[in-house]
């Protein structure tokens, strides 16, 4: 008997081709829908390889003209050898001399649902099935024919059934309209389709993204040990340059287009004649000594003199059509330096690194009154997040502050006396001191003019000031951001010896917080000894701070606690006043995990124990009512936080219900987004406003806030009625029955989380999964561009939060009532 895939393996030399070798996956089937994939293959003749998962392999047909949505177009499909399941994600170039030499992309993928027993139908030569893919959907047929012309290979026909997805080819030819890969966005036959050779580390080219988030540095208290590359920390504006098809656009770190504000720099970049690239750097203005001067930079922008601005470039995540993000920082910088030297410009300069010791470099930078230095870990890749691979050491402390008021000038001084400063914490704006030096007559006048229309009667601060602090204060709307240098923070949380450096227009007020330097020791990738002082947060001592919680990201226990501390103002409103359950992973997520609903005998530091009467017959329920309790939970190995759908003061009347859209893992992400939109449409029709968040796992959560009127039984029954209604309307897409077998090829609408005592992962909770993804609220408009339920992780969530222009869940506090009319629309009745 011929072994599965023997013909496939016989035709290929896996020492030369990057195609996967493999064996049949018989006996390894899991409860999921079988996959399909269509690969566009530019071999001797361009064709489409149509593959269906069956019996542990991919049954394969070569379709010369590709699939058509027109039922009258019966496309020839030549049966070829079976392929391994791992082939379904293969993209790249099959080398010359190898079987099927040429470019391959994944043109479409998803799951297929056979209409009859698939093995019998395949053997009989007539397969009828439904496709749920990124591009193709609806009903299809593969039928064997007796056509001749391909030797001993069977001839089949691929035919689209006449359903809602069918379209005449004269109106729409899908292979012409949708030429790109669903994985990489590439097309075959283009220079960007790169080989993926087996024995090289060279990364393939990729389509240039429209938008790009820069890598950010972590503030540290001293230079760490290890191999680091150091550059000057420029006192300017971070600018990213996108070069595509010869057009140059310049963006701030938050994505604002500043091309028109930097016309000369744009022209200088155009003169380099680079192919598709993203370049990273900082624009500065140099003083008479050739040193960066932030006030001068601001003046240059104010008067429109871009000639006075120099663009220092220090990295190239994409360069000349190649994706360099995985290359070591030294190689990226060397490639950038080479292209800048082709055509030298006074307005474009390369940010040189220094070979001296970090101590000498740092001391020299401080002697020159520079802001500080940036260190980059040798060999590190480029990551669009704040990373400990990039660090910053500041000579004098310097950061941004929100201007909340001013004092009147004294003596002959005009404008104002001092600016009153604030930063955001978990409660709101808190006072951070005042700055009265660093101004000249022009800046005093300019800032006073900006303050005048913002004046208000009451303080915008969360807490009232002392009489001494508030003496002479005039309050303004918190709209302006000041860059301030200072000597230190006092114990009271105000700045000492502050000097004004300039106004910032590139950072929103909501992003301004008290910057805390990380200890150099916490940056080491290998486990380190950490002192008690290093590992104490908000009064909670973190034991085993260097324990790796997630091997994939390398996140340590102390770093997880610091992450929760950093997002405390976002997560705490969703934890307070609710019973909480903890998913604990004391040895990390790779070890044993425990789900804990009650305080029991384990003492969680700072946790609040609730009234015994809330859950009779059990140990007390728990609540995380303050930051110290959140950090205490992490100290005891907690990774995930799950909350009830009711508050502790009215625990028998839920104030929300949840629809957890839980997909068959084999479904394409497009199917998840479509399911969310369909469910939201039903909720809209019922008159209920729903709020969306990523689960941090596989799916999405739809949260519907409620007025506290109905009991648990009623709320759960209503959520079940919605799930059953969706299943009746679209049985091929949804199921209201739990269990992997019932979910095959479908999305389970999990309403069971709405029972008394059940819980849902809290908004902004980390998930105990590789990479430590986070459950994150999104605006409904963001669904269109959402890439994954695990799009945000502990590594990149802070950048999202800092870049938000408005709360994606604005209006979440609005409470809604379940009406009789809603029950009627669902064809259901309330219990009782």
User: 3-state secondary structure string, 427-455?
Assistant: CEEEEEEEECCCCCHHHHHHHHHHHHHHE
Yes or no: say if 694 and 790 are a contact pair by the CB < 8 Å rule.
yes
Tokens of 59: 């049954």
Residue 697 main-chain phi, psi, to 5 deg: -115, -105
SS3 state at 230: strand
User: Taking Cα atoms as reference points, which of 583, 579, 563, 581 lies closest to residue 571?
Assistant: 563
- Grouping H, G, I as helix, E, B as strand and the rest as coil, residue 323 is strand
Ordered DSSP codes for 87-142: GGG--EEEPTTSTT-EEEEEEEEEEEEESS-HHHHHHHTEEEEEEEESS-EEEEEE
Give the whole-angstrom CA distance, residue 747 versus residue 766: 23
Q: What is the rounded distance in angstroms from the CA atom of residue 391 to the CA atom of residue 216?
A: 8
Distance, in Å, from the CA atom of 637 to the CA atom of 584, rounded to the nearest integer, reads: 5
Give dist(CA 186, CA 194) in Å, integer. Answer: 9
In the numeric block, which tokens belong to residue 27?
Answer: 């006996």
Q: How far apart are CA 87 and CA 175, in angstroms?
A: 21
Give, as one character, the DSSP assignment of residue 462.
S
Locus of tokens 């410009």:
345
- Nearest residue to 417 (alpha-carbon basis) of 461, 459, 447, 458: 447
> 513 vs 397, 422, 428, 627, CA distance in Å?
14, 9, 10, 16
Burial of residue 613 (CB within 10 Å: 0-12, 13-18, 19+) is: exposed
**Helix, coil or strand: residue 303:** helix
Per DSSP, 478 falls in state S
Q: Give the whole-angstrom CA distance, residue 683 versus residue 300.
A: 52
Q: Alpha-carbon distance 554 to 526, whole Å?
A: 9
Distance CA 284, CA 328 (A): 26
Is residue 300 within 8 Å of 309, Cβ to Cβ? yes
Structure tokens at 266: 């744009």
* Count of residues in the chain: 832
In this structure, the strands spanning 747-750 and 734-735 are: parallel
Angle made by CA atoms 227, 230, 234, in degrees to the nearest 5: 155
Query: What angle do the packed helices 712-729 and 669-686 form, to 10 degrees?
Result: 120
Instruction: Determine the 3-state secondary structure of 66 from DSSP.
Output: coil
CB 758 within 8 A of CB 738: no
233 is annotated as an active-site residue:
yes
Cβ(768)–Cβ(551) under 8 Å?
no
> Among candidates 260, 311, 281, which has minimal Cα distance to 214?
281
Yes or no: say if 373 and 365 are a contact pair by the CB < 8 Å rule. yes
Which listed residue (135, 233, 557, 746) is catalytic?
Answer: 233
β partners of residue 431: 422
Q: In this structure, what token pair is assigned to residue 820?
A: 């009789």
Nearest to residue 508, comparing CAs of 483, 485, 480?
480
Q: Which two tokens stand for residue 105?
A: 């992309």
Residue 275 burial (CB count, 10 A): 16
**CA-CA distance, 639 to 765, in Å (whole number)?**
8
Active site residues: 233
């Amino acid at each position: 008997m011929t072994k599965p895939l023997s013909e496939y393996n016989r035709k290929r030399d896996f020492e030369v081709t990057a195609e996967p070798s493999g064996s049949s996956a018989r006996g390894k089937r899991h409860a999921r829908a079988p996959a399909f994939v269509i690969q566009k293959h530019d071999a001797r003749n361009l064709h489409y390889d149509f593959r269906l998962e069956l019996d542990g392999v991919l049954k394969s047909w070569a379709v010369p003209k590709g699939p058509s949505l027109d039922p009258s177009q019966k496309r020839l499909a030549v049966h070829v050898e079976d392929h391994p399941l791992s082939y379904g994600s293969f993209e790249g170039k099959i080398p010359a001399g190898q079987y099927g030499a040429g470019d391959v992309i994944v043109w479409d993928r998803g799951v297929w649902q056979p209409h009859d027993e698939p093995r019998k139908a395949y053997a009989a030569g007539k397969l009828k099935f439904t496709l749920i893919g990124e591009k193709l959907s609806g009903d299809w047929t593969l039928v064997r024919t007796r056509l001749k012309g391909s030797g001993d290979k069977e001839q089949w026909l691929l035919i689209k059934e006449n359903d809602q997805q069918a379209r005449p080819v004269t109106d729409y030819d899908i292979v012409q309209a949708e030429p790109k890969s669903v994985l990489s966005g590439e097309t075959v036959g283009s220079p960007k389709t790169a080989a993926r050779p087996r024995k090289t580390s060279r990364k393939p080219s990729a389509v240039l993204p429209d938008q790009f988030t820069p890598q950010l540095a972590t503030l540290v208290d001293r230079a760490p040990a290890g191999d680091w590359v150091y550059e000057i920390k420029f006192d300017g504006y971070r600018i990213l340059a996108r070069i595509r098809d010869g057009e140059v656009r310049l963006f701030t770190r938050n994505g604002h287009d500043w091309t028109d504000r930097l016309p000369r720099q744009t022209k200088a970049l155009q003169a380099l004649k680079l192919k598709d690239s993203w370049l990273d750097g900082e624009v500065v203005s140099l003083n008479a000594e050739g040193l960066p001067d932030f006030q001068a930079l601001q003046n240059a922008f104010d008067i429109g003199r871009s000639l006075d601005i120099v663009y220092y470039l220090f990295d190239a995540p994409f360069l000349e059509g190649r994706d360099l993000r995985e290359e070591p920082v030294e190689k990226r910088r060397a490639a950038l330096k080479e292209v800048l030297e082709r055509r030298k410009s006074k307005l474009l300069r390369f940010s040189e690194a220094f070979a001296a010791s970090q101590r000498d470099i740092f001391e020299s930078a401080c002697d020159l009154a520079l802001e500080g230095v940036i260190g980059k870990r040798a060999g590190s890749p480029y990551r669009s997040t704040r990373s400990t691979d990039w660090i910053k050491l500041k000579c004098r402390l310097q950061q941004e502050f929100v201007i909340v008021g001013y004092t009147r000038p004294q003596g002959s001084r005009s404008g104002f006396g001092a600016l009153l400063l604030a930063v955001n914490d978990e409660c709101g704006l808190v006072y951070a001191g005042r700055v009265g030096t660093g101004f000249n007559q022009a800046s005093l006048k300019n800032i006073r003019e900006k303050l005048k229309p913002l004046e208000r009667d009451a303080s915008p601060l969360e807490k009232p000031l002392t009489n001494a602090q508030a003496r002479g204060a005039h309050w303004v709307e918190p709209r302006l951001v000041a860059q301030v240098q200072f000597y230190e923070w006092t114990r009271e949380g105000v700045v000492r010896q502050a000097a004004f450096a300039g106004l910032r227009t590139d950072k929103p007020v909501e992003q301004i917080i008290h910057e805390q330097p990380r200890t150099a020791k916490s940056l080491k990738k290998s486990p380190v000894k950490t002192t008690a002082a290093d590992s104490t947060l908000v009064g909670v001592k973190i034991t085993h701070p260097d324990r790796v919680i997630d091997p994939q990201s390398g996140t340590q226990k102390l770093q997880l606690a610091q992450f929760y501390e950093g997002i405390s103002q976002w997560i705490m409103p969703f934890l307070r006043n609710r019973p909480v359950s903890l998913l604990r992973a004391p040895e990390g997520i790779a070890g044993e995990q425990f789900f804990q609903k009650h305080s029991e005998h384990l003492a969680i530091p700072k946790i609040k124990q609730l009234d015994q009467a809330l859950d009779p017959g059990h140990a007390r329920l728990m609540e995380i009512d303050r930051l110290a309790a959140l950090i205490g939970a992490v100290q005891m190995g907690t990774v995930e936080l799950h909350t009830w759908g009711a508050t502790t003061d009215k625990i028998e009347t839920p104030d929300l219900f949840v629809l957890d859209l839980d997909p068959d893992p084999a479904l394409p992400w497009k199917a998840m987004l479509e399911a969310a939109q369909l469910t939201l449409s039903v909720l809209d029709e019922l008159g209920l406003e729903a709020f969306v968040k990523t689960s941090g796992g596989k799916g999405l959560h739809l949260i519907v806030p409620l007025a506290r009127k109905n009991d648990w039984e009623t709320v759960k029954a209503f959520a079940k009625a919605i799930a059953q209604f969706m299943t009746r309307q679209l049985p091929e897409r949804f199921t209201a029955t739990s269990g992997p077998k019932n979910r095959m090829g479908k999305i389970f609408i999990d309403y069971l989380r709405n029972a008394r005592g059940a819980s849902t992962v809290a908004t902004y909770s980390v998930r105990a999964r590789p990479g430590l993804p986070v459950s994150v609220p999104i605006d409904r408009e963001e669904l269109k561009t959402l890439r994954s339920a695990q799009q945000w992780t502990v590594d990149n969530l802070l950048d999202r939060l800092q870049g938000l222009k408005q709360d994606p869940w604005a209006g979440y506090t609005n409470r809604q009532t379940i009406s009789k009319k809603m029950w009627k629309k669902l064809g259901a009745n309330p219990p009782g």
